[in-house]
Structure 1
Amino acid sequence: MTAVIDGLRALLPSGDLTCVVSDALDRGWALSGAFRPVWSGACCAGEAVTVRTFGTDLSAVFDAISVAEPGSVLVIDSHGITGAAFWGERTTRAALARRLAGAVIDGGCRDVTAVRQLGFPVFSTAITPNAGLPGGRGAVNVPIQAGGIPVSPGDVVVADENGVVIVPQHLAPGTLERVRVLLAAEQQVFAQADRGMAVPPESTEKGMV
């Protein structure tokens, strides 16, 4: 799995990687369009550490940060709660200290100026000043749902300005190879377009538009 994640991370700077990853997964596995980067240019790829919160209790988020391996991406199932934040400056600094790669929250985030200045990639469905409260409840590394997509511990998360895509663990190696094939084909189509040649709306390569 490390080689797959390293391969995807190497492709992030090219931009719009989530689009190609979704194409490679038969145009699926993207979280809902409500998931947006907290700051422009945020992107990340890593192995999912899952969190299921309980109400507005964010204790499990801190528990997950404390056990997550470097390079992991936290995926937080806060059941779509947008009136309380499950991420902010304190969690960002703790995650940076653990060398995590990013956080994806089906719920609210706050302290967006600090998150942006610290340069930590965060994707959420809402921004709110209200903080969640610690209560000792929730679960870490259990199957969850985020944005209508099932996420299991160890799945691969790819996120950029287009949104967030989940790559199921068992599909990850084949997906990376498919992404490379699609990118190569895409570059050929773009080169034709740049030369003024007619390009069809959709190529014979599945998923390209």
Structure 2
Amino acid sequence: MPELTEPVALSELPIEQLIACHECDLLMRKTPVGDGEQAECPRCGYELYSHRHQVIRRSLALVLAALLLYVPANFLPIMQLNLLGQTAVDTLWGAVIGLYGSGMQGVAAVVFLCSMAIPLLKLLCQLLVLLSIRLDIGRAYGLLLYRIYHHLRDWGMLEVYLMGILVAIVKLVELADLNIGLGLFCFIALLLIQVWLEVTMAPHQIWQALSGEDVHAGD
């Protein structure tokens, strides 16, 4: 693991050669890292950036897998509830429609945006960014889309929705006959793949590739 230099003044080096720690604000000179290595802050140990192997290929595979899971996760049944002879099948899209039909249009809009629309927009932005790097076309648009993706990151709340589903299952399992649907497993798989994608798609390498600094990013 390479060690970073001691703090430097902004006047001593060009701004593009400096990096500040996100945790403790220590200002340092950027140090090149090799494949599989990472740079850490010498003061607090925070990981500043890393260089992962085949980051574009691996990220593309994960994005495509997430997009394939998106439709079944949102439209296949999450659970089937049998109570007093009545059967109800719930899906994520059905939950949005049910909230809207019961007069809670605002809540329905928030659920739709945070659990369906924004996660899809994030995946599409990631896909287009990775394709712009992989195919070496439209990198200026890729920069714009990657900025948009970073603004959307805090609005996609699949994990919050999953916690709501699990709480509902725990509360309903003692009141009625409850069967878990395929949609829930697809939803959990989608969430796990998105977390994996966040780890794999190293921001430092993506920014470098979009700016043309890392010619090996697509390897």
Please indicate the TM-score interval, normalised by the length of the shorter structure.
Answer: under 0.3
Structure 2 length-normalised TM: 0.26
* Larger Rg computed on CA atoms: 2
Greater per-residue strand proportion: 1
- Please give the TM-score of this superposition, normalised by the length of structure 1: 0.27
